[in-house]
A and B are shown apart, each in its own frame.
Chain A
Amino acid sequence: MTHLPWSAQFIHLAAAVLLLLSFAMLTQRRILSLLDLFATQGAVLAASTAIVAYSSGRAELYYSAALTFALKVLLLPYILHRLLRRLNVRWEAEPLLNVPTTLLVGLLLVIFAFALAQPISQLATTLTRSTLGIAIAVVMLSLLMMITRRKAVSQVVGFLALENGLFFAATSATYGMPMVVELGIALDVLVGVLILGVFFFQIREQFDSLDLRHLEALKEE
């Protein structure tokens, strides 16, 4: 067994925890706990970015870790919490699939993602290349979450978790994107959540509920 340096071990640990949190989000029924899980995922992501920054000696990754922490642990959960209070949503309805089925589908997605990442990670030269498979798995699980949920709020959380996965993929494959791109994405996500927050109110005003099934009907019956 090859002995890895401590920083790589911590990054592997963070990757494993991220994957676990994705599954927890996938099965979580309560919307408030979903937000807490999302904030935890952001914190783990920020920590792993900081460790990558420390072990690779790249100062700009510290900024991106700080940005991740400020945006995904503090600001976005705060905005979503406030939105939920204003919308007065507390409970999430049952997801489309039952929990064991969702878990099994998620497992298949993880295996698919790992197989997909195997050839790519052999090309990468970074210390953290083997975590790329986990990053792709997090992206796919977030997509699955967006597919299996009916309510608008949990779909938005799924979208944000997807962005977490992409960010993790970027740090693990290439030590992060250029700062300009990262700032742009951060701003995009922030503005996206604000606009979607306005959408929530519009949807609820129109249909008296946040259930997106109502949007599927093209004309009124």
Chain B
Amino acid sequence: MNAANLLAQIVVVALAVAAAPLFMAWVGQCRAWLANRRGPGLLQPYRVLRKLFHKDAVLATRASSLFRIAPYVQFGAMACAAAIIPLLGTDLPFATAADAIALVGLFAVARVFLALAAMDIGTAFGSLGARREMLVGFLAEPALLMVFFTASLIAHGTALPAMATAITGHPLAIYPSLAFAAVAFLMVLLAENARIPVDNPATHLELTMIHEAMVLEYSARHLALIEWSAALKLFNYCAIGFALFLPWGLPDRVGSGMLAALPVVALKFAAAGAGLALLETVSAKMRIFRAPEFLATAFLLAVLGLLVRLLLGS
């Protein structure tokens, strides 16, 4: 039984890693449709990844080993995060190994390595992007933690599977605290994944870049890993959102129930991708100096959720 659990866990992580670029492509495709364009198709990220993996890597002369290992660290952190998040079931062995706070730590490790690697080369845009990324990160992280604390108050524990079963295990009730936390989480998701109100993922204008400015010096397989882990990060954030706020349809044991849950999860991702694309189409990118305001609002909402939960018990 234990071996079967482990196998299921490995299959789920592999599935998450494989499906992450597809989700990114789906968001891009929806954005293209909303802008009345045809879009590059759902396989485009895979083609880009293949192309990048076949190229020869070019490194700056002053690059230290930190610059070379950063993409692997980031990809590894995101794959670990995918193992912790209950994507297809709440009974997987790794999901109970680490809790939500460790998950935030994993994201922080990935961010710190990428920022250090961007500063390592010493180009102007690299350190500019790294500073901006750290600004956004240090404002978004407390908000994310507060969201987790609100959910863990309801679940009486910080483990993600416990949070996922807390809502489905009880009779249906209105949770204003969870609604606040969900909006805060959405704002953190947009900020952390370099989506439109905070950063434009498709920009070519260096002065407005945050995430892109950090990875300007990367090429070939390093760039491929970074892009892949960016897609995986967005995928992970959506999976966290489902686990916290839409946990219906998750089987509570390993087995054939997980196959049945697959279409439900796929449907959730399709809806989330379309919603994300719509949100990005209707909103305009903010100036970088408005980002603290945006994230302070997210923090406020998360803390309000916490307080409302403590006062009203709802």
Contact = CB atoms under 8 A, between A and B. Distances in A.
Interface of A: 1-4, 9-10, 12-13, 15-17, 19-20, 23, 27, 99-100, 103-104, 106-107, 110-111, 114, 117, 130-131, 133-134
Contacts of A111: 307
B313 interface: yes
A110 B177 CA distance: 15
Given A3-B171, A10-B174, A12-B174, A20 B292 contact: no
A130 B311 contact: yes
A19 B300 contact: no
A103 B180 CA distance: 15
A4 B314 contact: yes
Contacts of A16: 176-177, 179-180, 304, 308, 312
Given A13-B314, A100-B292, 16 more contacts: A12-B174, A12-B308, A12-B312, A15-B312, A17-B176, A23-B300, A23-B304, A107-B300, A107-B304, A110-B304, A111-B307, A114-B307, A114-B310, A130-B311, A130-B313, A134-B311
B208 to A, nearest CB: 22
B296 A99 contact: yes
Nearest to B171: A3
B176 A99 contact: no
Contacts of B173: 3-4, 9
B204 interface: no
Nearest to A24: B297
B303 interface: yes
A20 B180 contact: yes
Nearest to A15: B312
A110 B296 contact: no
B206 interface: no
23 contacts: A1-B313, A3-B170, A4-B173, A4-B314, A9-B173, A9-B314, A13-B314, A15-B312, A16-B177, A16-B179, A16-B304, A20-B180, A20-B304, A103-B296, A103-B297, A106-B300, A107-B304, A110-B304, A114-B307, A114-B310, A117-B311, A133-B311, A134-B308
Interface in B178-223: 179-180
B312 A103 contact: no
Given A1-B170, A16-B176, A20-B180, A99 B293 contact: yes
A107 B302 CA distance: 11
A10 B179 CA distance: 13
Contacts of A20: 180, 301, 304
A106 B292 CA distance: 16
Interface residues of B, number: 24
Contacts of A110: 304, 307
A9 to B, nearest CB: 4
Nearest to A14: B176
Nearest to B169: A1
A182 B170 CA distance: 40
A99 B292 CA distance: 9
A46 B176 CA distance: 19
B141 to A, nearest CB: 15
Nearest to A26: B300
A4 B172 CA distance: 11
A2 B170 CA distance: 10
A19 B308 contact: yes
A16 to B, nearest CB: 3
Nearest to A104: B296
B31 to A, nearest CB: 28
A27 B297 contact: yes
B136 to A, nearest CB: 14
Interface string B285-298: 00000001100110
A20 B303 CA distance: 11
Contacts of A103: 296-297, 299-300
Contacts of A117: 311
A162 to B, nearest CB: 19
Contacts of B180: 16, 20
B174 A13 contact: yes
Q: 3 closest A-B pairs (Cβ-Cβ)?
A: A16-B176, A100-B296, A9-B174
Contacts of B179: 16
Contacts of A4: 173, 314
B293 A100 contact: yes
Contacts of B293: 99-100
B311 A2 contact: no
